Amino acid sequence: MTLLSVNVDHVATLRQARRASYPDVVEAARIAEAAGASGITVHLRSDRRHIQDRDVEVLLDTVKGKLNVEMAATDEMLSIAERLRPQQVTLVPESPEEITTEGGLDLTTHSQRIAEASSRLREAGILVSLFLDPDLAQVEHLVRLGTENITGFEINTDTYTKDSGRGASHHLDTISTVAEAGRAAGFGIYAGHGLTRDNVGPIAALATIEELNIGHYLVARAVMVGLDTAVREMLDAMRTD
């Protein structure tokens, strides 16, 4: 059964809009896990536009499942990870101008930096995942880096979620092929970006993908029906569509 890690970044986005004490990301994480989520994901950005360092610290003490912290492979972020030691870090590309993460890491250009960052994280006892586009060339570079320090990768589902026509099946096939190649090489396989209750089914049905990371849709849906209901709806869609 595919697991669900709920990204609570945009709960923090609402809070930071007023620099208020609410809504509380820790409370959101508690509700999500109580509703069936296997863990929680947060992105600690260099610009701190939503999640703050203190959020990660408190979540480490309160999340019952896996806490997955997304971050750029910068010295600042790596030092924070080494100090806090979350269960998993997912290395992602980051640009100050972006609204959200716009694509996967480019291992063709940055493999050495990613290798060094992954080594530091594993030495601290942290599981390491990379956010990658569904591109076999990227998986080939990943295989060269090996599984000693990198334990898995998250497939960027953006192109699949943006194509509601016949092309969606092509993107799904590509994701499936990349997932199979990664699993065969010994990596844990995750997926996420732009997934909703309406499009999650075919992705969740791929046996090679063990966990989905979903955030924006769930927080947006929670505005209408509450986070508990939003998470339960998503889990139902993952299991039945």
**Residues with a known catalytic role:** 43, 70, 193
Going by C-alpha positions, the residue among 234, 213, 203 that lies closest to residue 67 is 213
Tokens for 201? 């089914």
Residues 183 and 208: beta-carbon distance below 8 Å? yes
Q: Which residue has the tokens 């536009």?
A: 49
Q: Which residue has the tokens 């046996």?
A: 207
Residues 155 and 189: beta-carbon distance below 8 Å? yes
Long-range contacts of 11-16 (CB under 8 A, 24+ apart): 11/219, 12/42, 12/50, 12/51, 12/52, 12/55, 13/49, 13/50, 13/219, 14/219, 15/50, 16/49, 16/50
- CA geometry: angle 157, 159, 165, nearest 5 deg: 115
| Residues forming a β-bridge with 127 | 88
Residues 154 and 134: beta-carbon distance below 8 Å? no
| Residues forming a β-bridge with 129 | 90, 152
Tokens for 134? 């569904």
